[in-house]
Amino acid sequence: MVVGSALSLQFGSAVAAGLFPRVGALGMVALRLIFSAVLMLVVCRPRVRGHSRTDWAVVVGLGVALGTMNSLFYQAIDRIPLGAAVTLELLGPLVLSVVASRRLLSLVWAGLALAGVYLLGAGGFASLNLAGAAFALAAGAMWSAYIVFNSRTGARFPKADGLALAMGVAAVVSAPLGVVSAGGALLDPVTLGLGAAVAVLSSGIPYTLELFALRTLPAGTFAVLMSLMPVAATAAGFTVLGQRMTALELGGIALVILASAGAVRTSR
């Protein structure tokens, strides 16, 4: 499920990046999350009544994390290559795994990951685009929040009901910014069709797979398994967008993946 999620999400992100000239990053986020919310709510038809305040707090937290994470990430891939953006974003889940493990060895893996990030920006973060790197790091922080809230949502709601409700919240969070940014361009038929496809690839499929994966995997273990994302992102960036990376940048990605793999192998 994690492998399927990584491939679907990153190839969907590559397609979305190709639509930025039409509607911009914020417009694409709005399209993706609105279509995803409609799809999930129609398919799941979640029960609205009978939930506690804590249940709703968890759902709202997941929705806000989803909306914010996607908005920040799309701002990042509008400025820097997809593989680099996902590698920087991965630091959020990696920090979560270190905190969850509470072991000194985890600091070794965190240091290895930081070395990978240094190699990624070895040519100078100015050439990588400081704003893009900052957006990716901020998206990583929200990715950690998404993992925590997604795990709690899966424990409190049956099937994918909680995720469907959270998607509705995420759409409400992102829609105003998207409308202000893109305006009438959002109503173009071709853009709407591609936006629907991105919604399925980047939200509907991966988030559902991750919801079910988190019902059997601890949040800390799941967080380090997200090391698969840079591999999928680099492949998608190369295949769909024609983005190439230098040997140093690929070495940086490899170090981050090695750090995540080590954290998994040495976990209790």
Kindly state the percentage of the chain with pLDDT values over 90.
Answer: 24
pTM, 2 dp: 0.79
Say which amino acid occupies 151: S
Please report, as a single letter, which amino acid is at residue 238.
F
Cα–Cα distances in Å, from 20 out to 24, 27, 182? 4, 8, 10
Task: Indicate whether 38 pLDDT > 70.
Answer: yes
Q: Does residue 36 register a pLDDT over 80?
A: yes
Give the pLDDT confidence score for residue 34 in this predicted structure: 92
Cα dihedral 78→70→180→131 (10° resolution): -40
Q: Residue range 135-163: average pLDDT?
A: 90
More confident residue, 243 or 30: 30
With bands split at pLDDT 50, 70 and 90, how would you rate the model's confidence at 123? low
Read off the DSSP letter of residue 203.
I
Compute the distance between CA of residue 202 and CA of residue 182 in angstroms, rounded to an integer: 20
Give 121-179 as a DSSP string: TTT-HHHH-HHHHHHHHHHHHHHHHHHHHHHHHHHHSSTTHHHHHHHHHHHHHHHHHHH
Residue 117 has pLDDT above 80, yes or no: no
Residue 81 tokens, joined = 């290559």
Task: Note the pLDDT of residue 258.
Answer: 85
pLDDT band at residue 169 under the 50/70/90 scheme = very high
User: CA distances (Å), 217 to each of 64, 110, 235, 240, 267, in order?
Assistant: 23, 21, 26, 31, 13
Q: What is the rounded CA–CA span in Å between residue 59 and residue 46?
A: 12
DSSP 268: -
Structural domain that includes position 74: 2-265
Cα–Cα distance, 258 to 264 (Å, whole number): 10
Mean pLDDT (the chain, rounded): 84
Position 264 scores a pLDDT of 66
72-110 pLDDT tens trace = 998 998 888 877 888 888 888 877 777 776 677 777 877
**In b/e form, how buried is each residue of 123-153, taking b as 16+ CB within 10 angstroms?**
eebeebbeebbbbbbbbbbbbbbbbbbbbbb
Contacts of residue 217, defined as CB under 8 A and 6 or more positions apart, other chains included, come to 2, 225
| Closest by Cα among 227, 219, 185 to 97 | 219
Amino acid identity, position 201: L
pLDDT at 56 over 90: yes
Q: How many other C-beta atoms are found inside a 10 Å radius of the C-beta of residue 257?
A: 21
pLDDT for 65: 95
Q: Is residue 121 very low, low, confident or very high in pLDDT (cuts 50, 70, 90)?
A: low
What are the pLDDT digits (tens) for 205-237?
A: 998 898 888 888 777 677 777 777 877 887 888
**Across 34-46, average pLDDT:** 90
**Residue 211 confidence (pLDDT):** 85
The interaxial angle of helices 247-265 and 91-101, nearest 10 deg, is 20
Check whether 115 has a pLDDT greater than 90.
Answer: no
Query: Cα dihedral angle (17, 23, 24, 25), rounded to 10 degrees?
Result: -60
- Report the interhelical angle of 82-89 vs 2-18 (nearest 10°): 130
pLDDT above 70 as % of the chain: 94
- Number of domains making up the chain: 1
Angstrom CA distances, 18 to 32, 187, 237, stand at: 13, 17, 10
